[in-house]
Amino acid sequence: MLKRIFITIALSTLLGFLGLTAYIAQPPDRGRLANVAQVVRSNDGQIINLRLTKRGYWREKASLDQIDPKLIGVLIAYEDQRFWRHHGVDPKAVMRASYDFLRTGRISSGASTLTMQTVRLIDPSLAKRNVTTKLKQMLAAIRLEAHWSKEEILEAYFTLAPYGGNIEGIHAATEAWLQKGPEHLTLNEAALLVALPQSPEKRRPDRFPNAAYLAKRKVLNKVKDRLNFDNEIASEVGDEPLPTRLLKPKSIAPHLADYIAKIDTNIQTTTLSVEWQKVIQRILQSEIKKYPKPIQAAAIVVERQTGSLRAYVGSADYHSLDRKGAINYLNSIRSPGSTLKPIIYGKALQRNLISFDEVFDDHAFYRGGYRPTNFDNTYSGKVPLKDALLRSLNIPALSTLEELGPTIFENEVSTVLGNMQNNDQNAGLSLAVGGYYLTAHQLVELYLASLDPGQPHKLQFEVSNDQLHKELDSSLLNQETADQLLHLLIQDLPNGERVAFKTGTSYARHDAWSVQIFLDHIVLAWVGTPDNQSTESLTGRDVAFPISNEIGKALGLKP
C-alpha cells in the first residue's frame, strides 16, 4: 500500500511538473494588448485624431524610451521593489501574504508583483480575488517572465494600466490629465500616475480631488526613503496641486485617419501641421456655405522637394449627411478636367515636338468621330503656347497630345504613379480634357514629379528618416523643361497679384480643380458633387482657384 501511494504521488508529481513545464513553455496570449486606439499625431506630436478601441477605450502602445525614468522608478519603488530580481512571483511577498491569509482569513494584495498585475491587465479573468485565481495569476506571471523581458512587461503594464474613465495606458493618461506626453514628468505627476491605477475611479482628480491628493501623498511617503528623497522635497511635492479636469483631444483630421487605417495602421506621427489644418478647415467650411447641397469641397497642401503632407481636409464637414462629408474626396477617383494639360505641353517641349514660342492654330478638330470643342464652343485661330495653356484651350492640347502619342503618354503617367491605374483606362485623346480619371493624391504627385525633377514625388504622410529618399527615375520632366513649364503657368491677375496655377473643370461641371504652385508648396483645391451630379456653376477658375489662393494667403505661403 505504501509503495502504491508513493508511486501515485511520484507519478502525480511528475505529471504536474510536465504539465507546468508545458504551460510555461507556451507563449502567453497578448490579450487586450492587441487592441489599441488609433491615434494620429501632427509633426509636433499633438493629437489630431483619436479613434477609441471597439470597447471604447483610449489606449496606446507604450514604449519605455518615451516614458520618464522618474515614473518608472517611483512605480517599482512603490509596487515591487524586487521587480528586476524575481521571476514573476516574489517568494518573500508570497510568504508574507500567506501568513496574513492564515491569520485573518482573507487574501492580502501584498504578494502581487508588477508582473502579476500585468497578466491580470492582459486577461481580466485573472483579477478575481480568490485563492484559485491567485494561483492561476502566479503561474501566468511565471510564464510571462519566461517569454518576455522585464522591459516588455513594463511596457505592457504602461499600455494597459487604468487611469480613470476610459483612459488606459500612460500615453492616454498624460495626454488626458496633463496635456502632454509621458517623456518629461514632475515628481508630483509621477506620484499621481502611480496612485491612480490602484483605484482609478475613486481617485480621479476631477471627481475626488481629496482622495487623489491623499493617494499621491501616500505614494510619496512610501517611496521617499527607498529613492532617497529628503523629507523637505517629499513635503513640497506632496503639497503641489493636481489637475482638476480630464481633457480629450479634438479630432481635426478624420479623413486622414481613415486613409492611414486603410494603407498602414502603424503610422502615428504625421507631417501634418495642426495650425494649417485648422486654417484650411475654417476656409472650406466658410466657402461651402456659398453653394447648395450636395456640393462639397476638399483641399490638400504638400511641401515641394519632399512631398511631405502639411494639411489634409477631405471634405468641408466630415459629419455632413446632406453633402456626404464622410467621403474622402482627396482619395476619390474624379475627372481632372484640364489639369493635365501643363504636363502634356511639358512633355512635348522636352521632346522638341513644340517650342517655347509655339503658335497653335486653334480651329475645328475631328478625329474618327471625335469632335471636341473649346469650353466656350469658340475657336481663337492663332494662339501662342502660353495663352493656350492659361486659357485652357482644348484644341491645342489635343493636337499636342496627338503628336506625343496618347498611349505612350498615358503609360508614362501610369509609371510615375506606380502603375496604380484606377481602372482599365485607355483615355486616348480625351486624356487632355479630363478623360483620364485620377485622385487628388495622384494629381499632386504628377505635379511634384513635373515641377521638381529628381525630388521625391510620392506623398509623405509620416515623419521618418527615409522621407527624403530620391526617386530619380520617375520624374516626368528634366529641370530645364520644368523651369519652362513653371514660367508658362505664372500669370498676373487683374489686381496685380502674380500667381502660378492651373485650373480644371470636368464635363458637366461636377468637378472644379485648382492646382496652385508656391515657392515651397503646392495647394490643391477641389469643389464638386459627391455622385458626379452635373451643375451649372462649378468651374475651376471661378470656384476652386479662389479657395487655393485664399489658402496660400492665409498660410503665408511664398509666391
CA distance 343 to 484: 11
118-to-57, 141, 150, 558 alpha-carbon distances in Å: 17, 8, 11, 53
Q: For position 547, what pLDDT does the model report?
A: 98
The Cα–Cα gap between 532 and 294 comes to 10
| Whole-angstrom distance, CA of residue 256 vs CA of residue 279 | 16
Residues 6+ apart with CB under 8 A from 289: none
Contacts of 311 (CB under 8 A, 6+ apart): 272, 273, 276, 277, 279, 280, 299, 300, 301, 555
* CA 103/CA 189 separation, integer angstroms: 37
Cβ density class 317-337: b for 16+ within 10 Å, e for less: bbebeebebebbbbbbebbbb
Pairing of strands 359-362, 296-303: unpaired
Res 284: pLDDT: 98
Strand partners, 59: 168
Over the range 195-222, which residues count as b (16 or more CB within 10 Å of their CB) and which as e?
bbbbebeebbbbebeebbbebbbbbbeb
* Residue 290 per-residue DSSP state: G
Label residue 19 by pLDDT band (50, 70, 90): low
> Residue 129: its pLDDT value, please?
78
Q: DSSP H helical segments within 453-541, as ranges? A: 479-489
Answer whether residue 95 shows pLDDT above 50: yes
Grid look-up 518576455 returns 148
The burial of 292, by beta-carbon neighbours within 10 Å (0-12 exposed, 13-18 middle, 19 or more buried), is given as exposed
Determine the length of the chain.
559
Nearest Cα residue to 524 out of 310, 318, 333:
310
Looking at the DSSP bridge assignments, the partners of residue 167 are: 58
Q: Transcribe 26-47 into DSSP letters.
A: SPPP-GGGG---EEEE-TTS-E
Contact 301, 521 (CB under 8 A): yes
How far, in Å, CA of 398 to CA of 400, rounded?
Answer: 5
Tens digits of per-residue pLDDT, 376-410? 777 788 999 999 999 999 999 999 999 999 999 99
The yes-or-no verdict on residue 109 having pLDDT over 70 is no
Q: Which residue has the higher pLDDT, 9 or 76?
A: 76
pLDDT by residue (tens digit) across 486-527?
Answer: 999 999 999 999 999 999 999 999 999 999 999 999 999 999
- The alpha carbon dihedral of 163, 167, 171, 176 has a sign of negative
pLDDT value of position 97: 66
Cβ(74)–Cβ(187) under 8 Å? yes
Q: Of 230-234, 274-278, 365-369, 404-408, which range is least confident? A: 365-369
206 contacts 246 by C-beta, under 8 angstroms: yes
Q: What is the pLDDT of residue 449?
A: 94
- Say if residues 303 and 311 touch (Cβ distance below 8 Å): no
